[in-house]
């Protein structure tokens, strides 16, 4: 996992490697097998062009005793730049926790001194929440999880009540993300030749699935004069 650590003194982990310091966030990440890039609160020391080409899995902002600068750096990342959509984890002391502004745009927090097992668990959770992948049994697209084996769909952990036809439509489009299908093809391939219904039926079910997904329903796109696809 690639991780960027933003902190007040990016050279601190180097001193740790030389045996002068212990317990830094970057050092702990290295022990967990992460590839770590360091930057300052003002994002100095980061090659933003390189970050744009290969974004990290997570950004960790090590607030230390300077919560104000740490929070301003998060606001800056969320306003613009290559890190605007990357999950952010802020490391904060118990003493500074009451002053933490939960509206600035970070995704999770961890208390310092850091417990390595907790840090690892929170990194895995963030990676899971933002990852997109597929297998024979589970499809995950952002916050949408389609459990093929369990025959259910969840959005941000909440179960979505779908009819048989709605689930099959969502499953089929999810298994072929990025590909456009005509209404006729969806009738035949998502529901089978024996399903009795005209192409208008596809429009109705797409509309219902989008409605049940709420804002996430935009993942199913209409391709004018052709049909539908799930955004890749």
Mean pLDDT score of the chain = 86
Q: What local confidence, expressed as pLDDT, does residue 195 receive?
A: 58
Q: What domains lie within the chain, and their CATH numbers?
A: 2-130 (3.40.50.2300), 133-230 (1.10.10.10)
Is residue 134 within 8 A of residue 140, CB to CB? The reply is yes
Residue 144 has pLDDT above 80, yes or no: yes
Lowest mean pLDDT across 11-20, 78-87, 107-116, 216-225: 11-20
Q: What local confidence, expressed as pLDDT, does residue 23 receive?
A: 54
Residues 6+ apart with CB under 8 A from 198: none
Residue 206 confidence class, pLDDT cut points 50, 70, 90: very high
For residue range 83-118, list pLDDT tens digits in order. 998 999 999 999 999 999 999 999 999 999 999 999
Residue 55 confidence class, pLDDT cut points 50, 70, 90: confident
SS3 for 221?
A: strand
152-155 β-sheet, strand order: 133-134, 138-141, 144-147, 152-155, 158-160
Residue 16 has pLDDT above 80, yes or no: no
Residues 55-76: b if buried by 16+ CB within 10 A, e if exposed: bbbbbbbbbbeebebbbebbeb
Looking at per-residue pLDDT, the higher value among 145 and 18 belongs to: 145
What are residue 6's DSSP bridge partners? 39, 61
Task: Locate the DSSP E strands across the chain.
Answer: 2-7, 35-40, 58-64, 88-93, 108-112, 133-134, 138-141, 144-147, 152-155, 158-160, 181-182, 220-223, 227-230
Three-point CA angle 220, 84, 32, nearest 5°? 100
Residue 35 has pLDDT above 60, yes or no: yes
Q: If you average pLDDT over residues 157-178, what whole number do you get?
A: 93
Q: If you average pLDDT over residues 145-160, what whole number do you get?
A: 90
Is residue 126 within 8 A of residue 115, CB to CB? The reply is no
Q: If you average pLDDT over residues 176-194, what whole number do you get?
A: 87
Residue 69 has pLDDT above 50, yes or no: yes
Q: What local confidence, expressed as pLDDT, does residue 132 receive?
A: 59
């Amino acid at each position: 996992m690639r991780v960027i650590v933003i902190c007040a003194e990016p050279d601190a982990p180097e001193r740790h490697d030389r045996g002068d310091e212990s317990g830094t966030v970057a050092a702990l990440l290295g022990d967990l097998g992460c590839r770590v890039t360091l930057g300052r609160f003002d994002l100095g020391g980061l090659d933003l062009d390189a970050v744009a080409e290969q974004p990290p899995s997570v950004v960790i902002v090590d607030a230390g005793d300077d919560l104000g600068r740490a929070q301003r750096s998060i606001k800056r990342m969320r306003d613009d730049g290559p890190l605007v959509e990357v999950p952010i984890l802020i490391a904060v002391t118990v003493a500074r926790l009451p002053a933490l502004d939960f509206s600035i745009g970070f995704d999770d927090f961890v208390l310092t001194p850091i417990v390595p097992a907790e840090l690892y668990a929170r990194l895995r959770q963030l990676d899971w929440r933002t990852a997109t992948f597929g297998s024979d049994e589970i499809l995950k697209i952002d916050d949408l999880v389609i459990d093929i084996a369990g025959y259910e769909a969840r959005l941000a952990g909440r179960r979505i009540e779908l009819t048989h036809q709605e689930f099959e439509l969502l499953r089929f489009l999810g298994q072929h993300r990025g590909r456009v299908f005509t209404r006729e093809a969806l009738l035949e391939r998502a529901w089978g030749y024996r399903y009795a219904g005209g192409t208008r039926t596809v429009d109705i079910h797409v509309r219902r699935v989008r409605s049940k997904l709420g804002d996430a329903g935009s993942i199913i796109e209409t391709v004018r004069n052709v049909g539908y696809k799930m955004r890749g």
